[in-house]
């Protein structure tokens, strides 16, 4: 009884077979079929390898939301070299609430303004990268993926000790400010704070010593991340006028970065530059110096690295294999039909005419001698 039930179940399963098998004795192989099969298998292998590289790759996903964090502090990282002596210049930050941030986090270091050949090469390379980033915005995603692997973006130190006088001042360090609009300015004289605001003591500085030619080696907001290139990194401005004002208008966008290598809270920013000569007689009023006016955006950007899931990769792979199989089957039939038509029309290959002998021909059949029967498949002439 068990054997009978098993046979019935097996026969029932066989009847449900949607892929009936054909005996090998009924299958005819051909050179054209083998060629198409070889091309199909090669295409499958190539597309499968390319799809695997796509599966291994990642992409950056951008999400936007309202920034609800108003209580935290904003960190400003700066490294600016001014072509004046340190005792003649001062830097401070004044925010929208008239709150003066002391420059205790900033350091003044006497340096040489001119760069060495190695440093000049670094600056040219940085300018080249900056230009490519402005043209190809997709390169920013490459920088996000290769964080902590890229070369340091800071100016390399001088390779030799020079005897030239230290006529420039490097102002570098970081300070924490409120997340409101503010103004980082570098001008003549050291800053002092008083109840009515703040001022810079410039009475003891000669007007001939004013020179606000400067180089911004680094300027960023938020946590410093190796490999990130900011818009103003490597900027150099040279002026030959003592009363020159340089202005940078910056919009800071809070950014949360989540990749497979790092997770950090940083800030992106866009900048607009402007410079003019202070000439009170011509109606151009103001104060000579370098002014970085920044404002924070109300939107927050979340940048996360995404990866194709395994199930999606397998579905795409099955689609490639199945699509090529179904396409090559129809292609093989069409190519074979066209090949037969051409060969039959021009009597090529196996379709070449052959004489058929009918044995001994009697005199009564001599009238049929001029006619020869040529046959091959469905193509024949008499």
pLDDT tens-digit map of 110-145: 998 888 888 888 888 888 888 877 776 665 666 666
Nearest to 91 by CA among 290, 244, 282, 255: 290
| Window from 21-35, 114-128, 333-347, 368-382 with minimum mean pLDDT | 368-382
What's the average model confidence in pLDDT over 100-106? 70
Better-predicted residue by pLDDT, 175 or 194: 175
Taking CA atoms, 195 is separated from 73, 99, 309, in Å, by: 24, 11, 61
What's the average model confidence in pLDDT over 201-209? 79
The whole-chain average pLDDT of the chain stands at: 78
What's the average model confidence in pLDDT over 242-256? 91
- Tokens representing residue 54 in the block: 């796509």
pLDDT at 378 over 50: no
Check: CB of residue 115 under 8 Å from CB of residue 189: no
Check: CB of residue 78 under 8 Å from CB of residue 171: yes
Check: CB of residue 248 under 8 Å from CB of residue 76: no
Whole-number pLDDT of residue 118:
87
- Tokens representing residue 9 in the block: 């179940």
Confidence of residue 78 (pLDDT cuts 50, 70, 90): very high
Check: CB of residue 228 under 8 Å from CB of residue 129: no
Whole-number pLDDT of residue 374:
44
Look up residue 105 and give its DSSP letter. Answer: G
Whole-number pLDDT of residue 321:
86
SS3 of 375, please?
strand
pLDDT at 307 over 80: yes
Whole-number pLDDT of residue 377:
45
Better-predicted residue by pLDDT, 190 or 51: 51
pLDDT tens profile 263-306: 878 888 989 999 999 888 888 888 889 999 999 888 898 888 88
Strand pairing category for 182-188 and 168-178? unpaired
| Window from 78-87, 135-144, 356-365, 370-379 with minimum mean pLDDT | 370-379
Check: CB of residue 367 under 8 Å from CB of residue 348: no
What's the average model confidence in pLDDT over 70-86? 89
Whole-number pLDDT of residue 128:
86
Confidence of residue 368 (pLDDT cuts 50, 70, 90): very low
Whole-number pLDDT of residue 168:
92
What's the average model confidence in pLDDT over 153-169? 77
pLDDT at 150 over 60: no
Confidence of residue 189 (pLDDT cuts 50, 70, 90): confident
Which residues neighbour 209 within 8 Å (Cβ) at sequence distance 6 or greater?
84, 85, 88
Whole-structure pTM value? 0.68
Neighbouring C-beta atoms of residue 188, cutoff 10 Å: 22
Nearest to 155 by CA among 194, 122, 124, 108: 122
SS3 of 381, please?
strand
Helix orientation angle between 310-346 and 31-56, rounded to the nearest 10 degrees: 160
| Window from 41-55, 152-166, 210-224 with minimum mean pLDDT | 152-166
């Amino acid at each position: 009884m068990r054997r009978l039930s098993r046979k019935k179940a097996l026969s029932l399963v066989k009847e449900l077979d949607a892929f009936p098998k054909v005996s090998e004795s009924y299958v005819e192989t051909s050179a054209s079929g083998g060629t198409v099969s070889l091309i199909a298998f090669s295409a499958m292998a190539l597309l499968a390898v390319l799809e695997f590289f796509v599966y291994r790759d990642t992409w950056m996903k951008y999400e936007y939301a309202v920034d609800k964090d108003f209580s935290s502090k904003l960190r400003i990282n700066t490294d600016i070299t001014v072509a004046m002596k340190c005792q003649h210049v001062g830097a401070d930050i004044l925010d929208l609430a008239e709150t003066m941030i002391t420059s205790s986090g900033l350091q003044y270091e006497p340096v040489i303004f001119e760069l060495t050949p190695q440093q000049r090469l670094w600056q040219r390379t940085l300018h080249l990268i900056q230009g490519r980033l402005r043209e190809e915005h997709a390169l920013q995603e490459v920088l996000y993926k290769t964080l902590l692997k890229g070369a340091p973006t800071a100016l390399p130190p001088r390779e030799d000790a020079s005897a030239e006088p230290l006529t420039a001042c490097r102002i570098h360090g970081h300070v924490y400010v409120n997340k409101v609009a503010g103004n980082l300015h570098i001008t003549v004289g050291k800053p002092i704070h008083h109840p009515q605001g703040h001022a810079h003591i410039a009475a003891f500085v000669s007007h001939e010593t004013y020179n606000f030619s400067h180089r911004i080696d680094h300027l960023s907001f938020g946590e410093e991340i190796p490999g990130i290139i900011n818009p103003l990194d490597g900027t150099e401005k040279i002026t030959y006028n003592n009363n020159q004002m340089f202005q940078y208008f910056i919009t800071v966008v809070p950014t949360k970065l989540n990749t497979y290598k790092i997770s950090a809270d940083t800030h992106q920013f866009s900048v607009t530059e402007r410079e003019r000569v202070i000439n009170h007689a011509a109606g151009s009023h103001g104060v000579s110096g370098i002014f970085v006016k920044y404002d924070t955006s109300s939107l927050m950007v979340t940048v996360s690295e995404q990866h194709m899931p395994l199930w999606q990769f397998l579905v795409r792979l099955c689609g490639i294999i199945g699509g090529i199989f179904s396409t090559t089957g129809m292609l093989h039939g069409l190519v074979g039909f066209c090949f037969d038509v051409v060969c039959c029309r021009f009597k090529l290959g196996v379709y070449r005419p052959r004489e058929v002998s009918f044995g001994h021909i009697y005199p009564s059949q001599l009238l049929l001698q001029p006619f020869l029967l040529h046959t091959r498949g469905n193509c024949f002439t008499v």
